[in-house]
Amino acid sequence: MSDEIEQLIHSHTGVVVVQITEPVLETDQPMDWVATEIRQWRSDASVVQVVLSLHREWALRYRVHGSPCTLVFRHGELCLRVKGRFGRERLRAALERAGLLDLS
Amino acid sequence: MADRLDPVNQMVPAFTDLLVLVSARDSSSILLIEQIPPWVAQWVGKTPQEVEGEPIGRLPGDLMDALAAVADDVLTSGLPVENYSVEFRDIAGREHAVTLSAQRVEDYRLSPASRARDHANESGPAVLIHLQDISESVRQRRRSAGIGLFHGIVGRSKPMLAVFYKIEVYGPTEAPLIITGETGTGKELVARALHERSLRRDRPFVAVNCTALSEELFESELFGHERGAFTGALRSHKGRFERADKGTLFLDEIGDMSPRTQSKLLRVLEQGTIERVGGEEERRVDVRTLAATNMSLEQMVAIRRFRADLYHRLSVFRIHVPPLRERPGDLPLLVEYFLEMIGQRYGRRGLRLTPDAMRLLSEYHWPGNVRELRNVLERVYVETGGQVVGHNAFKEWVRERDYLSAGGWNLERLESQRAAAPVIITPPESSDQPRVSGFGFGVSDSADAQTPYPLAFPRGTFTPGGGSTIDAVYSVEHPPSRKPKGLTEEIIRKAFADAGGNATRAARLLGVHKATLYRRLKMLGLNRKDLETNPRPDTHPTQEPKP
C-alpha cells in the first residue's frame, strides 16, 4: 500500500495531495474540505487519504510523526508540508508560497 | 502563545507546558532546548536540568524526533503549527499522546539562568511549542472504538453495523428520513449521527418531541408566533423551524402529530416556507427534516391517522433501529460502556458485573431497550457499594419487572417451580455474544442455582438437571416453544385467563398447538369449563384469592 502511494506520487503528472490522518488522535471534524479546496485551484490534483498508524514508516520518510498533516507533491517531489489543523486562508497562503497557485 | 511573551524582554515565563527551542550559535539548524516541561523531560528519563542546553536532536525517542521535525518546519517556513497530535512510547515503553501547537518568535532573548547560554546567541529566533498531554483521552477513545462506538451509539452486531452503514450513506444527503424503532432504542442518537455526518454539521440540530406539546402549543413551538397572536404571547417567538435554519430539525414521535399540524408541516416541507402563528409574512427556511416514530406509519396511513402525502414526503429514506433483544451480542458492550460512563459521572471507576449478573441481563427481553439497560445499571451502580456487582444486586429490579411485564410473570409461582426442579442456567446456544473480558460465560455453581431471579426472564434456556429444557414462563410477543409436560395446571390456567378465555390464543401464549393444549388438559383431568369457571388459581398478589 505504501508502495502504491509512492507509485502514485511519482507517476501522476499533476499535483498529489496526501492527507495524513489518525482518527483516534483527532477530536475535531476531519479536514475533508482541503481536498475540495485544492481541487478548486488545481484541477490536476489527485487526493489520497492515509491513516498514519497504517503507514507510519512511509510517513516518517517525509518527517511526519503525527496527524493531521497535509503533504503536496509535484513531479514526484515534496513541495509542501503543513502540519496540524489550519483554515482556508492558511492553506491558500501555503499553496501560494509553494508556487502551487500559479495557474497561468 | 505570543501574547504570553514579555513585550520588553521577549522572554517567556516558565510555563509548565511550554518547550522553548533556540538556534545554536554555530549552526542555525541545531536547536537547543532552552526550557522544557518537567513531565516531557520525564518521558525521556531525564530532569529539565539534565536536558536544558542540549540539542533536541540528541535526545532519544519518537517524541523528540517529532518535536525536532516540527521545530525545523516552523523555523524554516515561519508558518505556525496548530493542534498537531503525536502518539509515541516513552523510555519505559508506555504509550502517550500529545497535541502541540508551535510558532516562531523573532528576537527571543535567553533567560539569565539559561543553560543554553554557552552555545546559543543572546537573542535570535526561537520556536515555542505548547504541549498538552492527551494520553488519557486517546486511551478512552481507543476503548470506545473497541466497544464499537459510532457517534455515541454502541454496537458491533450485524443489525447495528447496517444502521451505521446507512448513517454513513444517508448522512450527507439532503433528503428527509424516517427513523423507526421501539422506545429506548436510540432513535435520537441516530438522528444526531446523521446530522454529524451531513454537510449541515456546523449548523444547529434542533429536536422537538411531538408528544410533549398540545396542538396549539405545538404549532407555536414549531413555526413560532407573533406578539399578541394569543393570550400570553407577549413577544414574538422564533419557532423550531427558524432555529434549525440551515441545519437539521428532528421531529420525534411524529406519529403523535395532529392532522392539522401534519398538513401545515407538509406545506413547509413542500414550499420551504413557514408562517408564524398570528403572522402574515412567509419566511423561507432551509431545514433538513428527520423524523422518528415507534409506531407503524404505514398502518396509521391505512387508518387515516397519518397523511399519506406527508408519509411519502418524509420517508425518502428509512433507518430501522433494532430492539436490544435482536442484538444480544451488543449487550456486554453496552454494559461496559454504560458502567464506564456512569463511573465517570459518579467518580467511581472500575465497576464490573459478575458473569452471573451478566447472564441474568442477557436472559431478559428488554422491552425498554437500551434506555432501560442504562437506567437499571445506574440504579444498581448507585445502590451497590462494591466494585463487583453480582446478580443479587438486580433482585429488586427483577421483582419489579416481573409484575410490570406484558407476560404477567409471577416470581412466587416461578420460585415454587424452581424449588421443584433445581435449575442451572446456561448461555443461549445461538448466542453470538463476543467474549468481552470480565464478562465470561459459564455454568452457574450450585449457589447460583438456588436463585429464582433468572426464571423471570422468558428468553432464557433452563436446563433442569442437565436434562430436558423447561421454560417455566411464557411471553405474549415471543412464545417459547415448550414441551407439553412443562405445562402445569397453574400455567395453563394463567394463560387461559390472560387470553380472555380464548383457547387458541392461550395455546399461542404457551407456545404450543391448540390440539396439544387440549391433550394436556385431558391428561390433567381438566376441561375448558373448569378453566372458565376458575381461571386464575395462582398467588399473584394483584389477584383475588381463589374462591
* CA distance, residue B317 to nearest chain A CA (Å): 25
Whether residue A81 and residue B142 make contact (CB cut-off 8 A), yes or no, is: no
Q: Round to whole Å and give the CA distance between B134 and A22.
A: 14
Whether residue B88 and residue A65 make contact (CB cut-off 8 A), yes or no, is: yes
Nearest residue, CB atoms, B85 vs list A66, A86, A97? A66
Whether residue A85 and residue B73 make contact (CB cut-off 8 A), yes or no, is: no
- The closest of B178, B147, B210 to B438, measured between CA atoms, is B147
Q: For residue B101, what is the nearest residue in chain A, using CA coordinates? A: A84
Higher per-residue pLDDT: A12 or B538: A12
**For position B13, what pLDDT does the model report?**
52
Question: Beta partners for A66?
Answer: B86
Reported as a pLDDT band with limits 50, 70 and 90, residue A103 is low
Reported as a pLDDT band with limits 50, 70 and 90, residue A59 is very high
**Looking at the complex, does the CB of residue B65 fall below 8 Å from at least one CB of chain A?**
yes
Reported as a pLDDT band with limits 50, 70 and 90, residue B127 is very high
Reported as a pLDDT band with limits 50, 70 and 90, residue B234 is confident
Reported as a pLDDT band with limits 50, 70 and 90, residue B451 is very low
Tell me the whole-structure pTM to 2 decimals: 0.52
Angle between the B489-498 and B514-523 helix axes, to the nearest 10 degrees? 140
DSSP string, B216-261: HHHHHHHHEE-TTSSTT--S-EE-HHHHTTTSEEEEETGGG--HHH
The DSSP call for residue A44 is T
Q: What domains lie within chain B, and their CATH numbers?
A: 2-134 (3.30.450.20), 147-320 (3.40.50.300), 346-480 (no CATH), 485-547 (1.10.10)
Nearest residue, CB atoms, A84 vs list B77, B82, B142? B82
Which residues from A are below 8 Å from B87, CB to CB?
22, 25, 53, 66
**For position B88, what pLDDT does the model report?**
93
**For position A30, what pLDDT does the model report?**
72
Q: Does domain A2-97 have CATH number 3.30.1330.200?
A: no
Q: Which of residues 84-113 of B touch A (CB under 8 A)?
A: 84-88, 97, 99-101
Q: Does pLDDT of B540 surpass 70?
A: no
Q: Round to whole Å and give the CA distance between A104 and B340.
A: 58
The DSSP call for residue B159 is H
**Looking at the complex, does the CB of residue A89 fall below 8 Å from at least one CB of chain B?**
no
| CB B29 within 8 Å of CB B132 | no
| CB B252 within 8 Å of CB B210 | yes
Q: Round to whole Å and give the CA distance between B2 and A89.
A: 20
Q: Which residue has the cell 472504538?
A: B145
Highest mean pLDDT among B8-12, B164-168, B242-246 belongs to B242-246
Whether residue A67 and residue B85 make contact (CB cut-off 8 A), yes or no, is: yes
What is the residue extent of each domain of chain A?
A: 2-97
* CA distance, residue A97 to nearest chain B CA (Å): 9
Q: Does pLDDT of B537 surpass 60?
A: no
**Looking at the complex, does the CB of residue B345 fall below 8 Å from at least one CB of chain A?**
no
**Looking at the complex, does the CB of residue B69 fall below 8 Å from at least one CB of chain A?**
yes
Whether residue A24 and residue B142 make contact (CB cut-off 8 A), yes or no, is: yes
| Residue of B63, B65, B79 to mutate when probing chain A, most A C-beta within 10 A | B79
**Looking at the complex, does the CB of residue A68 fall below 8 Å from at least one CB of chain B?**
yes
**For position B402, what pLDDT does the model report?**
65
Q: Which of residues 69-88 of A touch B (CB under 8 A)?
A: 69, 81-86
Q: Which of residues 124-183 of B touch A (CB under 8 A)?
A: 134, 137-138, 141-142, 145
| CB B259 within 8 Å of CB B307 | yes
Q: Round to whole Å and give the CA distance between B175 and B317.
A: 7
Give residues with Cβ within 8 angstroms of B8, minimum separation 6. Answer: none
**For position B450, what pLDDT does the model report?**
32
Whether residue B87 and residue A94 make contact (CB cut-off 8 A), yes or no, is: no
Bond into A68 cis (ω within 30)? yes
The DSSP call for residue B133 is E
B138 burial type by CB count under 10 A (0-12 exposed, 13-18 middle, 19+ buried): buried
Whether residue B72 and residue A63 make contact (CB cut-off 8 A), yes or no, is: yes
Q: For residue B135, what is the nearest residue in chain A, using CA coordinates? A: A25
Q: Which residue has the cell 399473584?
A: B540
Give residues with Cβ within 8 angstroms of B168, minimum separation 6. Answer: B197
Beta strands at B153-154 and B149-150: parallel, antiparallel or unpaired: antiparallel
Count the Cβ atoms, other than its own, within 10 Å of residue B271: 11
Which residues from B are below 8 Å from A94, CB to CB?
77, 79
Q: Which residue has the cell 441481563?
A: B361
A12-27 per-position pLDDT tens digit: 888 899 999 988 887 6
Size of interface A-B (CB pairs under 8 A): 59
SS3 letters for B288-353?
Answer: EEEEEECCCHHHHHHCCCCCHHHHHHHCCEEEECCCHHHCHHHHHHHHHHHHHHHHHHHCCCCCEE
How does the average pLDDT of chain B come out, rounded?
77
Q: Does pLDDT of B323 surpass 90?
A: yes
B280-297 burial by CB neighbour count: b if 16+ within 10 A, else e?
Answer: eeebebebbbbbbbbeeb
What is the tally of helices (H) and strands (E) in chain B? 21, 20
Reported as a pLDDT band with limits 50, 70 and 90, residue B431 is very low
Nearest residue, CB atoms, B66 vs list A28, A66, A93? A66
B158 by DSSP, 3-state: which?
helix
**For position B409, what pLDDT does the model report?**
37
Whether residue B145 and residue A28 make contact (CB cut-off 8 A), yes or no, is: no
Which residues from B are below 8 Å from A22, CB to CB?
85, 87
- The closest of B156, B240, B168 to B205, measured between CA atoms, is B240
Give residues with Cβ within 8 angstroms of B418, minimum separation 6. Answer: B452, B455, B472
**For position B264, what pLDDT does the model report?**
85
Whether residue B81 and residue A66 make contact (CB cut-off 8 A), yes or no, is: no
Higher per-residue pLDDT: A8 or B326: B326
**Looking at the complex, does the CB of residue B524 fall below 8 Å from at least one CB of chain A?**
no
Maximum pairwise Cα distance, chain A: 41
Please give the grid coordinates belonging to residue B81: 503549527
Highest mean pLDDT among A36-45, B69-78, B454-463 belongs to B69-78
Sign of the Cα torsion B297, B299, B301, B304 reads: negative
**Looking at the complex, does the CB of residue B206 fall below 8 Å from at least one CB of chain A?**
no
Which residues from A are below 8 Å from B77, CB to CB?
94, 97
**For position B430, what pLDDT does the model report?**
35
Whether residue A24 and residue B145 make contact (CB cut-off 8 A), yes or no, is: yes
Q: Does pLDDT of B401 surpass 80?
A: no
Whether residue B62 and residue A65 make contact (CB cut-off 8 A), yes or no, is: yes
Give residues with Cβ within 8 angstroms of B477, minimum separation 6. Answer: B406
Higher per-residue pLDDT: B32 or B522: B32
Q: Round to whole Å and give the CA distance between B86 and B149.
A: 23
| Residue of B83, B131, B195 to mutate when probing chain A, most A C-beta within 10 A | B83
- Note the ipTM here: 0.94
Mean pLDDT score, B197-214: 88
**Looking at the complex, does the CB of residue B446 fall below 8 Å from at least one CB of chain A?**
no
